[in-house]
Amino acid sequence: MSALVLDGRKVAQEIQEELRSRIQRLRSHSRPPALAVVLVGEDPASQIYVRKKIKTSGELGIESIDEIRDASITTDELLAIIHRFNQDPEIDGILVQTPLPKHVDTARILQAIDPGKDADGLHPLNVGRLVANRPAPRACTPAGIMEILRRYEIPVTGAKAVIVGRSDIVGKPMALMLLNESATVTICHSRTKNLAEECRRGDILIAAMGRPAALTADYLKPGCVIVDVGVNRITDSADVERLYGYDPKRISAFKKAGAVLVGDVDPFAMREISSAYTPVPGGVGPLTIAMLMANTVALAEQHVKSDSKC
């Protein structure tokens, strides 16, 4: 029996369709939700990602305020922009695209965002609310993963979940969200001993380490569910042939573009060993953007509710 493909594009579309009526209600009774996006520098991946976010906002009727700045911007100058957005009652959500240039104090920037406008769910106050399992904006990628697991009816309660990667953006909030749904969670990282053995314990394996096809068949429990967060660009023809020799479409795409994307899990092993998996691309990426939109709409609804009480 072939593995089930967990279609992130399909689930993201469902989430966005569910948001439309809420956005229309906001537009009718007050104003459209508004998301301020700050992009610093010329990182190609960040530029592509921000363009997708802006495009999705436009399609849904969310107003997008775009602040594009040169990489030479200082921490204080960026803080001034955040302060301006914090004070603007017409802005519901603020997103600062990371990574920021090395000379910018990223922690200060993220902590400066009003927790009530934290569209990315990364402010320490909102992370604390996640720890306490209280309502707050949730980190978008882990929240999207929880949505795809729920909508495909993947059992989480009682499952053994293994997360490879301990970032503040994915690994740590992912662990908390799974714990809040009564999974038994193991977090692995670069210093984990016997990583393959730990991974093979997972009924659910979340790969978020940023290393192309690093988790091979030896790391996978037969019948597990794999969520591959990795998005790695490979340009070496030998690597492409090794990883996608079974897939003529990928080989053809590589010959045309000179590059293809691969996740953190070996794609052939994932397809053959798991019971269900998220593809790369088309898995987790669209969910991240959908949950950013969902956070922005929820924040706008809270702001309208607060204004009506004044």
Catalytic residue at 53? yes
* Predicted pLDDT of residue 48: 85
Q: What angle do CA 172, 176, 182 make, to 5 degrees?
A: 145
* Predicted pLDDT of residue 306: 78
Give the position of tokens 């400066």. Answer: 112
pTM: 0.95
What is 202-260 written as a DSSP string?
-SEEEE-S--TT-B-GGG--TT-EEEE---EEE--HHHHHHHHTT-HHHHHHHHHHS-E
Catalytic residue at 47? no
Q: Residues 92, 120, 203, 266: which is the catalytic one? A: 120
Q: What's the Cα-to-Cα distance from 77 to each of 41, 43, 69, 113, rounded to whole Å? A: 14, 19, 10, 14
**Domains, the chain, with CATH or none:** 30-117 (3.40.50.10860), 140-287 (3.40.50.720)
* Predicted pLDDT of residue 45: 80
Q: How far apart are CA 242 and CA 235, in angstroms?
A: 12
* Predicted pLDDT of residue 303: 93
Q: Residues 7, 53, 92, 118: which is the catalytic one? A: 53
Mean pLDDT by 10 residues, the chain (310 residues): 93 97 92 95 84 92 94 96 97 94 95 97 96 96 98 98 96 98 97 97 97 97 98 94 93 94 96 97 95 97 80
Q: Residues 97, 118, 172, 264: which is the catalytic one? A: 97
Residues 267, 280: contact at Cβ < 8 Å?
A: yes
* Predicted pLDDT of residue 258: 95
Cis peptide before 44 (omega within 30 of 0): no
* Predicted pLDDT of residue 85: 98
* Predicted pLDDT of residue 302: 94
Catalytic residue at 114? no
Structure tokens given for 301 = 């609804």
